[in-house]
Amino acid sequence: MMVSCATSSWHIRCRGPFHPNKSGRRGSESRFSAYVEALSSALGHADRAAPFHSYCAGLLLPGDRKSVEPMAARLQPGRVQAAHQSLHHFVAKSDWSDDTVLAAVRACVLPLIAKRGPIRALIIDDTGMPKKGRHSVGVARQYCGQLGKQDNCQVAVSLSAANDHASLPVSYRLYLPRDWADDPERRAAAGVPDEIVFQTKPQIALDQLRAAVVAGVQAETVLADAGYGNDTDFRDGITEIGLPYVVGITSTTSLWPPGKEPLPPKPWAGQGRPTSAIRRDAAHQPVPARHMAMELPKSAWRQVTWREGTNTKLTSRFAAVRVRPAHRDYQRSTPRPEEWCLIEWPAGEAEPTKYWLSTLPATIRKTALVNTAKLRWRIERDYQDLKQELGLGHYEGRGWRGFHHHATMCIAAYGFLISETEAIPPSGPRNTILVKEHPLPAGYRPRGSPDPA
Range in 89-93, 292-296, 446-450 the model is least confident about: 446-450
Give dist(CA 261, CA 334) in Å, integer: 10
pLDDT in tens, 249-285: 999 999 999 999 999 887 776 676 767 788 898 889 9
pLDDT range class, residue 28, cuts 50, 70, 90: confident
CA–chain centroid gap for 448, Å, is: 32
Question: What share of the chain has pLDDT > 70, as a percent?
Answer: 85
**Residue 433: predicted pLDDT:** 44
Contact 227, 201 (CB under 8 A): yes
pLDDT > 70? residue 288: yes
**Residue 6: predicted pLDDT:** 35
pLDDT range class, residue 134, cuts 50, 70, 90: confident
Contact 410, 386 (CB under 8 A): yes
**Residue 312: predicted pLDDT:** 85
107: phi then psi, degrees, rounded to nearest 5: -65, -30
Domain boundaries, the chain: 4-221+379-423, 244-262+293-375
CA-to-CA dists, residue 98 to 191, 354, 397, angstroms = 15, 36, 17
